[in-house]
């Protein structure tokens, strides 16, 4: 008997442990449906043409992401339209791409989100001063040779819209779908009369044209009108001397129009990589500039595409809490573990509380069952003691006693078993008393 008291009932343990295990496995499986795998160590981004602003900024993003062990892979393109086409094609390995505001729109079924507005991308219209002296409207380009950017680029799209608003098309003007640094030489050699370029002042083509002798920047007299006609455009002023005070570039305040550049990502891009892109964007675009105040960019905006959940959280709260104090890999690991632990703890804490109670109920139920048999036997003896002989009554009682002695009872419940056996002895005494009358 003492050895049996030390033994647990494996049947009871299985009865309690198996459902508990199944619940824990179910919680683990449920959590696994929501947890993202570890972030990849590579991010593919669509840029633009050689020497353009998208390529320039991607190179700076690469330096920022490299600090966190992420390799940024650039995919050059003709511009925004091609970038969007690649993002929509699931067969193309690409996570994010620079897009010029106003050049593309969301299609039904698109699984793309925006990371907000990153910076102004002014439209610069440069012309040969000898061919178009003092020009300040696009109407002056009618009948001229105008480079409007390569097919599929944001420059090409914007140039066609603005020229079209002035009644200028390929039927009355020579529109050249070209881009790149070669345009500087073509302007100087009188092969073209004007060039449309979209990009920040830092882009190599814009910067070079600003310093090229004989080439002038057009100040758009209708800048306000274009901003009203095309809602994605903003009117900007390039102050006199903002590019170079010594050389007085530009020689007067210039009116420009500008869309906003954004970064689109696929919805399945890992959230941790989006967080890093937001941090890179803040570092690269957050400083002061010719057209912006410190901290003005990046900012919440979507240009027709929904704002990413991670980007929205970044604009409200900044860098993720754990990444403020831990290395990137440790912060992402803890984030993933929390997703796993929350549902597990939600199941395991109640289990740890109720499993012992359930096990105790199982043990007590076996003792109570013998109590039921004992009470039934006692009632029979009380009602009709002569129904059986003393030996038969005692035989029935001994069977109950034998069953009780075989119950595997942990020490915690041993007192209940001893109490049962005491009550069995009381019923035995009653049988001996009543059956002897």
CATH number of the domain at 191, please: 3.40.190.10
pLDDT for 223: 96
Question: Is residue 340 in some structural domain?
Answer: no
Give, in degrees to the nearest 5, the angle at Cα 337 between 333 and 338: 120
Question: Is residue 330 in some structural domain?
Answer: no
Using CA atoms, how far apart are residues 185 and 259, in angstroms rounded to an integer? 27
Residue 124, phi then psi, degrees to nearest 5: -110, 130
Give, in degrees to the nearest 5, the angle at Cα 217 between 216 and 220: 135
Q: Do 228 and 132 lie in a common domain?
A: yes
Question: Is residue 245 in some structural domain?
Answer: yes
Question: Is residue 326 in some structural domain?
Answer: no
163 contacts 113 by C-beta, under 8 angstroms: no
Using CA atoms, how far apart are residues 154 and 25, in angstroms rounded to an integer? 52
Q: Which of 258, 291, 307 is the last residue of a domain?
A: 258
55 contacts 83 by C-beta, under 8 angstroms: no
Q: Do 113 and 134 lie in a common domain?
A: no
Rounded to the nearest 10°, the torsion over CA 25, 30, 36, 37 is 30
> Beta 254-258 vs 234-238: how paired, if at all?
antiparallel
Question: Is residue 346 in some structural domain?
Answer: no
Q: Is 85 helix (H, G, I), strand (E, B) or coil?
A: helix
Q: Please tell me the total count of domains within the chain.
A: 3
Question: Is residue 234 in some structural domain?
Answer: yes
How many CB atoms neighbour CB 256 within 10 A? 22
Q: Which of 293, 320, 347 is the last residue of a domain?
A: 320
Q: Do 126 and 254 lie in a common domain?
A: yes
Q: Which H/E stretch holds residue 368?
A: helix 328-383
Q: Do 172 and 245 lie in a common domain?
A: yes
Among candidate residues 286, 52, 293, 288, the one with its CA nearest the CA of residue 156:
52
Q: Do 162 and 275 lie in a common domain?
A: no
Q: Do 247 and 268 lie in a common domain?
A: no
Q: Do 249 and 286 lie in a common domain?
A: no
pLDDT for 281: 95
Question: Is residue 347 in some structural domain?
Answer: no
Among candidate residues 191, 146, 143, the one with its CA nearest the CA of residue 167:
143
Q: Which of 258, 292, 309 is the last residue of a domain?
A: 258
Among candidate residues 298, 422, 304, 410, the one with its CA nearest the CA of residue 360:
410
Using CA atoms, how far apart are residues 331 and 324, in angstroms rounded to an integer? 9
Question: Is residue 303 in some structural domain?
Answer: yes
pLDDT tens sequence for the chain (437 residues): 444 434 455 555 565 566 766 766 676 666 655 566 667 889 999 998 877 889 989 999 999 999 989 999 999 998 888 899 999 998 999 999 999 988 877 788 889 999 999 999 999 999 999 888 889 999 999 999 999 999 888 899 999 999 999 999 999 999 999 988 999 999 999 999 999 999 999 888 999 999 999 999 999 999 999 999 998 999 999 999 999 999 999 999 999 999 999 999 999 998 889 999 999 999 999 999 999 999 999 999 766 789 999 999 999 988 877 677 777 766 675 666 666 666 666 666 776 677 677 767 777 787 888 888 888 888 888 888 888 888 888 888 888 888 887 777 777 777 887 888 888 888 888 888 877 55
pLDDT for 184: 94
pLDDT for 341: 67
Q: Do 252 and 158 lie in a common domain?
A: yes
Q: Do 314 and 428 lie in a common domain?
A: no
Q: Give, in order, the Cα–Cα distances in Å from 165 to each of 145, 170, 225, 226.
A: 18, 13, 11, 9
pLDDT for 4: 44
For residue 244, the enclosing domain spans 122-258
Alpha helices by DSSP H, listed for 67-178, are 80-88, 154-165
Task: Report DSSP letters for 4-34, one per residue.
Answer: HHH---HHHHHHHHHHHHHHHHHHHHHHHHH
Among candidate residues 369, 302, 242, the one with its CA nearest the CA of residue 113:
302
Q: Is the pTM of this model over 0.75?
A: no
pLDDT for 319: 82
Q: Do 104 and 16 lie in a common domain?
A: no
Q: Do 81 and 137 lie in a common domain?
A: no
Q: Do 162 and 250 lie in a common domain?
A: yes
């Amino acid at each position: 008997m003492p050895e049996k008291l030390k033994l647990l009932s494996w049947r009871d343990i299985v009865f309690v442990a198996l459902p508990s295990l199944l619940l824990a496995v179910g919680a683990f499986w449920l959590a696994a449906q929501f947890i993202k795998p570890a972030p990849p160590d590579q991010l593919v981004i669509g840029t633009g043409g050689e020497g353009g602003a998208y390529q320039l900024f991607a190179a700076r993003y690469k330096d920022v992401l490299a600090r966190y062990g992420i390799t940024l892979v650039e995919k050059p393109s003709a511009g925004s339209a091609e970038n969007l086409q690649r993002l929509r094609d699931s067969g193309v390995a690409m996570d994010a791409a620079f897009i010029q505001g106003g050049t593309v729109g969301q299609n039904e079924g698109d699984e793309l989100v925006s990371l907000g507005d990153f910076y102004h991308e002014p439209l610069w219209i440069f012309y040969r001063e000898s061919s178009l002296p003092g020009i300040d409207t696009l109407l002056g380009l009618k009948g001229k040779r105008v480079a409007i950017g390569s097919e599929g680029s944001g420059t090409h799209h914007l140039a066609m819209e603005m020229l079209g608003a002035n009644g200028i098309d390929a039927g009355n003007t020579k529109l050249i779908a070209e881009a790149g640094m070669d345009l500087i030489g073509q302007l100087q050699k009188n092969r073209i009369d004007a060039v449309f370029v979209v990009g920040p002042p830092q882009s190599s083509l814009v910067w070079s044209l600003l310093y090229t002798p004989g080439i002038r920047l057009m100040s758009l007299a209708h800048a306000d009108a274009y901003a009203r006609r095309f809602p994605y455009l903003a009117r900007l002023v390039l102050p006199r001397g903002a590019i170079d005070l010594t050389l007085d570039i530009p020689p007067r305040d210039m009116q420009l129009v500008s869309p906003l550049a954004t970064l689109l990502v696929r919805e399945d891009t890992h959230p941790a990589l989006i967080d890093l892109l937001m941090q890179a964007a803040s570092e690269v675009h957050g400083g002061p500039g010719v057209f912006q105040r410190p901290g003005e960019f990046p900012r919440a905006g979507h240009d027709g595409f929904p704002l990413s959940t991670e980007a929205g959280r970044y604009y409200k709260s900044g860098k993720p809490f754990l990444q403020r104090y831990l290395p990137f890999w440790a912060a992402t690991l803890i984030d993933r573990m929390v997703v796993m632990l929350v549902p597990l703890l939600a199941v395991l804490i109640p289990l740890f509380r109720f499993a012992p109670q359930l096990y105790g109920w199982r043990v007590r139920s076996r003792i109570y069952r013998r109590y039921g048999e004992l009470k039934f036997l006692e009632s029979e003896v009380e009602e009709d003691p002569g129904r059986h002989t003393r030996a038969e009554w005692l035989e029935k009682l001994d069977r109950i006693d034998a069953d009780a002695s075989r119950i595997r009872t942990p020490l915690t419940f041993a007192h209940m078993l001893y109490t049962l056996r005491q009550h069995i002895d009381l019923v035995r005494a009653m049988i001996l008393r009543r059956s002897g009358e």
